[in-house]
Amino acid sequence: MFAPFVALQPDDRVELKKMGPKSRDFCEQALTLLANNPQIVPPSLGLAEALADRTALEQLRPRLQQLRQLVEKADDTEMALGSDMMAVALEGYRLLEVSGKGEALKSARRELSARFARKRRVAEAEPA
């Protein structure tokens, strides 16, 4: 199992040093060199903790990739479902426009038409 999850506050995120793709190689090389030369590493440096962090990160990354793929599929599914609903709703609205002659349907059609009402521009609304 990997390290427990951490919840950062926005201010904490800003202040943290970030390890991007280019920094990752640097970190790996530096930690390997330090681990191979323990005689130069003072105990206060926190090398053992950094090595444990590296192990936890290596365990986390594949799971994080799976989660990202799952979220992407969920987003795509949400979009496809919404698109299906919108297509049926629009087609149904067009049917109501053509065949909705009854008083009850006129009222419902008016409510639905608010979706397509254009808002007047501020310049047009203000007298010159």
Number of structural domains (the chain) is 1
Residue 1 is assigned to a structural domain of this protein:
no
59-90 burial code (b ≥16 CB/10 A, e <16): eeeeeeeeeeeeeeeeeeeeeeeeeeeeeeee
The per-residue pLDDT for range 28-60, each reduced to its tens digit, is 999 999 999 999 999 999 999 999 999 999 999
pTM, entire model: 0.65
Alpha carbon distances (Å) from 77 to 59, 68, 71, 82: 28, 14, 10, 8
3 state SS of 1: coil
Structure tokens at 96: 């109501």
How wide is the angle at C-alpha 114 spanned by C-alphas 112 and 115, nearest 5°? 80
119 part of a folded domain: yes
pLDDT per position as a tens digit, 52-94? 999 999 999 999 999 999 999 999 999 999 999 999 999 988 8
In a domain, 5, yes or no: no
